[in-house]
Homo-oligomer: A and B are copies of this chain.
Amino acid sequence: MSLLVVGSVAYDGIETPFGSIDRILGGSATYISITSSYFTESINLVGVVGKDFRDEEIEFLKSRNIDLTGLQIDKSGDTFFWKGKYHFDLNNRDTLDTQLNVFEHFDPIIPEDYKNARYVALGNIEPGLQSKVLEQIDNPDFVVMDTMNFWIEGALESLKKTLKRVNMLVINDSEARELADEPNLMKAAEIVLGMGPEALIIKKGEHGALLFTQDGIFSAPAYPVVDIFDPTGAGDSFLGGLLGWLAYTDDRSAENMRRAVIFGSVMASFCVEKFGPDRFKTLTEKEVFERYRAFISLSQIPELG
């Protein structure tokens, strides 16, 4: 089924304990589109880049069968730039530089051909813009949104309005606690589900992810990556793998939602193996499905004899 992805397209500067890179393709819409492209073919990206955006990025995205009709090229300035430095344990990072550039006035205009999208990914952008995207789309089957502490703290009412219109929210554990104003994660999940979405995923980084729905809780492990190289984009890769699988199968049963969470975890586990989205330049479909099976081996609990 067709998948619409709206979010940032960016350049990132990244410092990790293992090296640094001045400028590499980044942004939520970028990672979501690339990772979902392993599962579904009709991916429409809506975002904005500036005059500095290189042809090689366009070529890479097109090579993943991503339709770029909705990618605005704003010649009045440069592409959104973010620079961050990861701590030794890779679980924390400091933002060193943020240049919004053309992204500051991003107005997500959905091309006519995209308005019948059945699956929609709302990357982490201002919640009012996320709502504006939904207003332009004809009754989609499944909408997933991401957000962050910045919007929870600065645009809570707008965020709550958007939450009522989406099917699934994907956030990390500290964001869930903050959004619910509740330290206990299980209680926080219940409170967030009460805000509207029928499904909630709480990402816990190296500890895996939890899916909360009316069917109960699913606890997904994290893949034990020995050499985590760069965590940038892991959360968006999770969302892309998840939604790509759902759009491909068009099956939102409880069982298939679990598969989607695992494919999200699979894509996140590959993402961290190289700088930025570099791992996806060589990753094959075969490796993706092999890692799915590795997740089963990793966590399968035997029945009692």
Residue ranges of A at the interface with B (Cβ–Cβ < 8 Å): 88-89, 183-187, 204, 206-208, 210, 216-222, 224-226, 228, 255-256, 258-259, 262, 289, 292, 295-304
Contacts and interface: CB of A to CB of B under 8 A. Distances in A.
Contact of A184 (B186, B228, B298): B228
Given A88-B183, A187-B226, A302 B255 contact: yes
A33 to B, nearest CB: 23
A21 to B, nearest CB: 21
A217 B224 contact: yes
A6 B218 CA distance: 37
A225 B89 contact: no
A289 B187 CA distance: 25
Nearest to A91: B183
A258 B304 CA distance: 11
Q: Report the 5 A-B pairs with minimum CB-CB distance, sorted nearest first.
A: A219-B221, A207-B207, A186-B226, A255-B302, A296-B301
- How many copies of this protein are present in the complex? 2
A216 B296 CA distance: 13
A304 B255 CA distance: 10
A302 B251 CA distance: 14
A92 to B, nearest CB: 12
B259 A304 contact: yes
Given A207-B204, A221-B221, A184 B226 contact: yes
Contacts of A216: 297-298
Nearest to A254: B302
A301 B183 contact: no
24 contacts: A88-B183, A89-B183, A186-B225, A186-B226, A207-B207, A210-B224, A216-B297, A219-B221, A219-B222, A219-B224, A221-B299, A256-B302, A258-B300, A258-B301, A259-B302, A259-B304, A262-B301, A289-B304, A295-B301, A296-B303, A299-B299, A299-B301, A300-B300, A300-B301
A214 to B, nearest CB: 15
A219 B223 CA distance: 9
Given A88-B183, A89-B183, A183-B89, A299 B206 contact: no
Contacts of A210: 224
A219 B183 contact: no
A260 to B, nearest CB: 10
